[in-house]
Structure 1
């Protein structure tokens, strides 16, 4: 792979620098940063996350802001399959910025929900997302943020085979998407199909099905030109 040689060279350079200056030397930042991104390029997300944690500690020790590295490390832990480490880092990041609004903390909260799901704590993820939804609504956040929450809650409820919750989330997601892109946009088809499928599972004779199917036909005609 194209990153193999670079990762080997940077790892060796980091080890040499550590031997010469110590593991806490801020000079390591110049080696560890490209190493972390090279590991991500190599799809070694777990090792990248651990390098990023070291990098963040060095930035903080030298009084520098770590920018987006904390979020990058969180996602790398989650993508690397280490849900527990991702969850621990999420909690650390959330505690470090308690005054953030729901809108400001949206990306962190959504990634935190993913971490909870990866550790098998679907109930915890649902509680986090439900509270986040309330916060976003109170702040009158953009529809796209609320749509992301509704979609993730829909995935959770479908995984639990909770039809009532799934239908409620599917309705909310469709309504939010309509707010954002309009009621005549063919891009609604996927969400519309999802709601129709859920309602059919619940009741083939559901009173909403006829209207939804009619809308679907109209949107499909628009899509087909």
Structure 2
């Protein structure tokens, strides 16, 4: 007997605005307490608890207990990819303005769970493809021999990333740029290295990343990336 996945049940779980707000609040990869998530979604503690329980039962969230406190985080990178992929669809009804508005900080550079996204994430990915460091397949990127050496010189060894249980270099659709950025284990390693080098810095309480002066200089030097 052929059984189709129950897509409707999954969609129904995130169709509730409060649950969608909770999921988006966790897109920066953090684990947050129930109280903070309740405030984000403008819910009472009791209502937030009910929504969180449903998201845990549905496989969207994981609950981590620390002493008397309960923290919640996204269950997997796949969940983050689903939320990120839905964001362009949520924006298609927005009224077009005659002149493009100045991009918001979250559109310029942000984390998508644990990898780079926004204008920076897409520009970084496109520069890697243009430079012959990555090639594209339908759903993923492949690191070339030239690219493997480039990553090593940057301080990223692609070999451990290939041994990860998660996708290695996944194509992740960027909701603000409407193009793909580099996700997967390699994308996560790149963001970690950018933070270590001081090229980007996290902005407290959110997903926004600030590109530092050093980051602007090095990205322009290495990959001819300019975000201005």
**TM-score over 0.5 for the pair:** no
Greater strand percent: which structure? 2
Greater relative contact order structure (CA < 8 Å, 6+ sep)? 2
TM-score by length of 2: 0.25
Q: TM-score, normalised by structure 1?
A: 0.26
